[in-house]
A and B are shown apart, each in its own frame.
Chain A
Amino acid sequence: MRLWHRLTGDMTTRGQVALAMFAALLLAAPAFIGSYPLSILILVVYFAYIGQAWNVMMGFAGQLSLGHALYLGLGGYTAAALAFHFGVSPWIGMIAGVLVAMLAGGIVGFLGFRFSLAGVYFALLTIAFAEFTRILFDHFKWVGGSAGLFLKVSGDPGLWHLRGGPVMFYYVILAMAALALVACRLMLTSRLGYHWLAIREDPEAAQASGVDVFRGKMIAVLISSGMAAVGGVWAAFYYKNLFPETAFAMGRSIEVILAPIIGGLGTLIGPFIGAAVLVSLGDVFTIAAEKIGEIFGVKTAGLKQIFYGLALLAIVAFRRDGVWPWLARKLGFVHSDPYLPPPAGKGR
């Protein structure tokens, strides 16, 4: 009963029913939808998952990382290289990948937190690490250097080697996202979660209340980087190729953070909502740009990005706390009064 309460928190019965229905829909989806919608749904769940990983650091503990591609890339590269050279199962490789990413996260965190870099200065450190790892991997011949690493397409299919069709990849990422959701919920309602929120709200006050601020931040960066690495492994095997230019790209780090920001920083459902909004908007705008091109007979390269940027601006301008906190209250999924979400950009 206590565990149940920790999991449901301030959700109303209506919210719980909606969540259950939503979960059932996601589980049943591949049976009803075609391959194109499924590929979109896969992206949504993937972005929700890696957004959740980033959210642990920023949304919970208030530490801004703009270099999460580092952990995705390291996780993906480690597992892919082990599979490529030694035929190691990605699940074993995942353990190695998570450890490598956590080591990197630990170094970034230690440097940043030991010397009390806060806010944007810490963010700069995270970018720097991702960038020089990218350059390093450009020259790392064992994993293909800048020419990239390509996973074998043929071989034994199956879950053990993460080789198969989109439906398999969909269920794998869905399971990961569900596990992450439950794990985050449990962490957030634990003593550790309380300490994270205290650090996010006011590190000085947290310290005065007896929170080990350094330890709290370190645990956040370790968990976040480890979770991101798992997502990186999944992505490496889903796309079956890795290039330093994309795996560690700044753009990838930005992709990671958009869903939780749009959905609602520090909320658990936010990354899912944000990912759904972003991916579907991206698709709608691609089609819209094509149509406009056809009708007016003009080239519309870049138009999609303009639409996309404007839409993000609008969302951030009108729903500063993200879409989910507002939506959840509107639909009566949470009890309306108490826990106001953190204002965007509050975390330090």
Chain B
Amino acid sequence: MLTVETLDLFYGDAQALDGVSLTAGQGEIVAIVGANGAGKSSLIRSVHGMQTPSAGRVTFKGADITGWPSHRVCELGVGHVAEGRQIFPNLSVLENLEMGATLKRARGAMAATLRRVMALFPRLDERRRQAAGTLSGGEQQMLAIGRCLMGQPEMIMFDEPSLGLSPTMTQEVFRVIRALHEDGMTILLVEQNVMASLKLAQRGYVLENGRVVLEGTGQALLDSDRVRQAYLGL
């Protein structure tokens, strides 16, 4: 469904991505793990048109989307739950969700999608008239995921969804990701929580200094010495 081929990205002189290649098949959960500054967010942002790679190719559903602006990538069915719970704080919960459905692909089915999202996150339904900025951190993350779902994506890229959340909320986020996966959603998961994300994922990639240094099934990566030593401290 998603193919990334030998992607290079520079910020000025600093190289953030160096020949990164990966694939995600239909309905797969693919985890991307690595330390801070390894290039995980840069990768997601390049796929989503927020950074322009200097070389390489990104294709989604067979279309070459390299260098496309974000709104066109969204329109094709790529959802993005950005790092740091980026909600619209002064808009109500409902308005935040409605915002997500302004994509052409999602407009028609807005009412039905809204019911589905509210069923997935009852807390949001209870607080639909409340300003989003008054929600707790976990609820804001739920809202960010809900808003993304309102756009009817076929693939969702999560950028550090558990960042700054309590252990309970983190579990809740992973529960939601699993539920989406069971509904057939393709998921690209960038996480610092290496253990939990590799357990959840079918396949994973380990990024170091902008390069893919290791790839394999989630279990194989969890068992590898490199991951055990560098990320799990075992």
Chain B binds chain A:
yes
- A165 interface residue, CB < 8 Å from B? no
Contact across chains for B74 and A209 when beta carbons are under 8 A apart: yes
> Smallest distance from the beta carbon of A136 to chain B beta carbons, Å?
35
- Bound-complex Cα distance A346 to B90 (A): 10
For window 109-145 of B, CB contacts with A under 8 Å fall at 129-131, 133, 144
Which residues from A are CB-within-8-Å of B148? 209
- B103 interface residue, CB < 8 Å from A? yes
- Bound-complex Cα distance A339 to B147 (A): 18
For window 307-348 of A, CB contacts with B under 8 Å fall at 337-343, 346
Contact across chains for B131 and A211 when beta carbons are under 8 A apart: no
Which residues from B are CB-within-8-Å of A337? 129-130
Which residues from B are CB-within-8-Å of A210? 70-71, 73-75, 100, 102-103, 151
Q: Which of B48, B75, B82 has the most CB of A within 10 A?
A: B82
Q: Which of A194, A204, A209, A341 has the most CB of B within 10 A?
A: A209
Which residues from A are CB-within-8-Å of B5? none
Which residues from B are CB-within-8-Å of A204? 82, 86
Which residues from A are CB-within-8-Å of B35? none
Which residues from A are CB-within-8-Å of B50? 207-208
The stretch that binds B, out of A47-55, A149-157, A195-203, A231-239, is A195-203
Contact across chains for A211 and B102 when beta carbons are under 8 A apart: yes
Chain B window 77-111, contacts with chain A (Cβ cutoff 8 Å), 1 for yes, 0 for no: 00011100011111110010011101100000000
Q: Which of B71, B73, B87, B147 has the most CB of A within 10 A?
A: B71
- B69 interface residue, CB < 8 Å from A? yes
Contact residue among A212, A343, A346 (Cβ-Cβ distance under 8 Å from B69)? A212
Contact residue among A202, A338, A343 (Cβ-Cβ distance under 8 Å from B88)? A202
Which residues from B are CB-within-8-Å of A207? 50, 70-71
> Smallest distance from the beta carbon of A21 to chain B beta carbons, Å?
28
Chain B interface size, as a band, is: 20 to 34
Which residues from B are CB-within-8-Å of A211? 71, 99, 102
- Bound-complex Cα distance A208 to B90 (A): 18
- Bound-complex Cα distance A338 to B86 (A): 20
- A191 interface residue, CB < 8 Å from B? yes
Beyond A194-B102, A340-B90, A341-B90, 15 additional contacts (C-beta under 8 Å) are: A194-B95, A194-B99, A197-B95, A205-B82, A206-B88, A208-B86, A209-B151, A210-B74, A210-B75, A210-B151, A211-B71, A337-B129, A339-B90, A339-B91, A339-B95
Contact residue among B70, B103, B131 (Cβ-Cβ distance under 8 Å from A208)? B70
- Kindly list the 5 A-B residue pairs having the minimum CB-CB distance in the complex, ordered from nearest: A210-B74, A205-B86, A201-B88, A338-B129, A208-B82
> Smallest distance from the beta carbon of B52 to chain A beta carbons, Å?
13
Contact across chains for A201 and B130 when beta carbons are under 8 A apart: no
Task: Enumerate 5 A-B pairs (CB-CB under 8 Å) in ascending A order.
Answer: A194-B98, A197-B88, A205-B88, A209-B99, A339-B131
Contact across chains for A342 and B98 when beta carbons are under 8 A apart: no
For window 170-214 of A, CB contacts with B under 8 Å fall at 191, 194-195, 197-198, 201-202, 204-212
In the complex with contacts A201-B90, A337-B129, A339-B131, A209-B100 CB distance below 8 A: yes
Contact across chains for B92 and A338 when beta carbons are under 8 A apart: yes
Nearest CB to that of A340 among chain B residues? B131
Which residues from B are CB-within-8-Å of A191? 102
> Smallest distance from the beta carbon of A326 to chain B beta carbons, Å?
16
Chain B window 172-191, contacts with chain A (Cβ cutoff 8 Å), 1 for yes, 0 for no: 00000000000000000000
Which residues from A are CB-within-8-Å of B73? 210
Nearest CB to that of A339 among chain B residues? B92
Contact across chains for B102 and A202 when beta carbons are under 8 A apart: no
Which residues from B are CB-within-8-Å of A343? 90
> Smallest distance from the beta carbon of B63 to chain A beta carbons, Å?
16
Contact across chains for B102 and A201 when beta carbons are under 8 A apart: no
- Bound-complex Cα distance A205 to B131 (A): 16
Chain B window 47-77, contacts with chain A (Cβ cutoff 8 Å), 1 for yes, 0 for no: 0101000000000000000000111011100
Which residues from B are CB-within-8-Å of A339? 90-92, 95, 131
- Bound-complex Cα distance A204 to B82 (A): 9
Nearest CB to that of B157 among chain A residues? A208
